[in-house]
């Protein structure tokens, strides 16, 4: 059955959800499904708008309230499916879809509970999962929702990147890439950088977020927001020291680009990273655990690093290219559309 997809989000920065939206739109395009991005309101997120334009993805804005969202959705045919991303878009989208008797699909990305208002909204969003068909990016998250199934993140897999060999005793560029917020653990990365005794390790931080003015960035090379392609050219090792996660897009991107991953055992990461086979796992999200794995990286032979990088790229090609994910999406989209049609 023919349908189109409205990817609905409330976005003020660039992070995993934003990268996921671009990947999803390009995946749908690959299978000749029309899609567009609808923002709940305009947060002047210019860098993300630029990336959408560069990818030839159509986008528009609601007025930041339920009334305007309701009016906009009325303009779309019933075959246009609303697929929400993030707790605010999810809550607002479900409410309006209920009013219009329109199907709603939601992807739950966040692994963290949040604090204050964010905690309340996350709780409410999970309760409202009863009114939508849902995807979650980690097994643990599916257990907190109604009508949910695991949908692993995916990336546009092109020709495998030529692997750079990390030779012993050469300088190694270590990177943190992501939102500078508590759950992502940028403070853990900086703490490890401050206490690193190695002269071979250079520490880089890419991203922006609410903690940017709280962090002591003097221990790292801080680059702010950058294009993904620029990032991977500068790094040998990516560190994911999050306190909570779903399935971070940045891990898949790094593995695809021949960048070794050190990850905390949170969210879906233990189901992806096999220690010393295709990356390295930290026992906990702490500066001490990270320092231990950084020492391991320095001790690895060139052959061991080559072996791990090869395995990582093979995994991405086989499991995260989007082929299996589209089959899931298409099945759920068709199910939701059929369920919304009137009975005669």
3's CB contacts (< 8 A; 6+ apart) are: 33, 79, 80, 81, 333, 334, 337
Instruction: For residue 118, name the pLDDT band (cuts at 50, 70, 90).
Output: confident
Residues 60-103 have pLDDT tens digits of 999 999 999 999 999 999 999 999 999 999 999 999 999 999 99
Q: What are phi and psi of 158, to 5 degrees?
A: -105, -155
Among 98-107, 250-259, 331-340, the minimum mean pLDDT is found in: 331-340
76 and 202 share one domain? no
313 and 333 share one domain? no
Residue 184 maps to a domain? yes
Residue 143 maps to a domain? yes
pLDDT at 292: 96
Residue 165 maps to a domain? no
Residue 128 maps to a domain? yes
311 and 334 share one domain? no
The residue-averaged pLDDT of 11-28 equals: 93
Q: In angstroms, what CA-CA distances link 289 with 121, 241, 293?
A: 32, 9, 7
126 and 198 share one domain? no
Confidence check: pLDDT of 228 > 90: no
For the domain that residue 25 is a member of, what is the CATH number? 3.40.50.2000
66 and 141 share one domain? yes
Residues 289-304 have pLDDT tens digits of 999 999 999 999 999 9
131 and 250 share one domain? no
Confidence check: pLDDT of 161 > 90: no
pLDDT at 117: 85
Residues 252-278 have pLDDT tens digits of 999 999 999 999 999 899 999 999 999
User: Mean pLDDT in the chain?
Assistant: 92
Q: What percentage of the chain carries pLDDT values higher than 90?
A: 83
Residues 189-201 have pLDDT tens digits of 999 999 998 889 9
- CA–centroid distance for 108 within its chain: 11
Instruction: For residue 227, name the pLDDT band (cuts at 50, 70, 90).
Output: confident
pLDDT at 111: 61
Residue 66 maps to a domain? yes
Range(s) of the domain holding residue 47: 4-154+322-340
Instruction: For residue 339, name the pLDDT band (cuts at 50, 70, 90).
Output: confident
- Exposure b/e, 304-313, CB count within 10 A at least 16 = b: ebeebbebbb
138 and 205 share one domain? no
The residue-averaged pLDDT of 98-115 equals: 86
**Total structural domains in the chain?**
2
Does residue 48 contact residue 86 with C-beta atoms inside 8 Å? no
The residue-averaged pLDDT of 317-330 equals: 94
102 and 9 share one domain? yes
| Rg of the chain (C-alpha set) | 20
146 and 238 share one domain? no
186 and 301 share one domain? yes
Q: In angstroms, what CA-CA distances link 231 with 20, 86, 276?
A: 17, 25, 24
The residue-averaged pLDDT of 215-219 equals: 94
Residue 53 maps to a domain? yes
Residue 86 maps to a domain? yes
Q: In angstroms, what CA-CA distances link 237 with 30, 251, 273?
A: 31, 11, 14
Residue 125 maps to a domain? yes
Which residues partner with 82 through β-bridges? 6, 104
302 and 336 share one domain? no
315 and 326 share one domain? no
pLDDT at 344: 39
Among 138-142, 234-238, 287-291, 312-316, the minimum mean pLDDT is found in: 138-142
């Amino acid at each position: 059955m023919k349908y189109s997809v409205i990817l609905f989000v409330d976005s003020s920065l660039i992070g995993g959800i934003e990268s996921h939206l671009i990947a999803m739109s390009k995946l749908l395009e690959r299978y000749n499904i029309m899609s567009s991005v609808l923002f709940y309101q305009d947060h002047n997120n210019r860098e993300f708008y630029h990336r959408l334009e560069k990818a030839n993805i159509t986008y528009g804005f609601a007025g930041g309230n339920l009334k305007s969202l309701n009016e906009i959705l009325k303009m779309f045919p019933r075959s246009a499916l609303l697929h929400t991303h993030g707790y605010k878009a999810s809550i607002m989208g479900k409410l309006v879809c209920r009013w219009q008797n329109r199907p709603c699909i939601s992807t739950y990305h966040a692994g963290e509970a949040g604090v204050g208002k964010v905690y309340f909204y996350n709780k409410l969003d999970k309760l409202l999962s009863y009114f939508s068909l849902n995807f979650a990016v980690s097994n643990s998250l599916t257990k907190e929702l109604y009508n949910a199934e695991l949908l692993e993140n995916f990336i546009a897999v092109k020709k495998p990147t030529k692997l750079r060999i990390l030779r012993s005793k050469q300088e190694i560029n270590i990177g943190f890439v992501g939102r500078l917020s508590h759950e992502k653990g940028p403070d853990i990365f900086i703490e490890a950088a401050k206490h690193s005794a190695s002269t071979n390790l250079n520490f880089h931080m890419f991203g922006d977020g609410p903690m940017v003015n709280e962090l002591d960035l003097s221990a790292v090379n801080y680059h702010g927001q950058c294009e993904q392609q620029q990032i991977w050219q500068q790094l040998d090792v990516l560190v994911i020291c999050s306190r909570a996660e779903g399935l971070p897009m940045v891990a898949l991107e790094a593995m695809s680009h021949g960048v070794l991953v050190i990850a905390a055992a949170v969210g879906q990461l233990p189901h992806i990273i096999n220690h010393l086979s295709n990356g390295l796992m930290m026992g906990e999200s702490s500066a001490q655990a990270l320092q231990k794995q950084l020492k391991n990286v320095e001790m690895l032979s060139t052959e061991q690093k080559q072996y791990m990088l090869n395995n990582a790229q093979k995994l991405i090609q086989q499991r995260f290219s989007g082929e299996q994910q589209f089959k899931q999406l298409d099945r759920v989209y068709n199910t939701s559309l059929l369920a919304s049609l009137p009975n005669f």
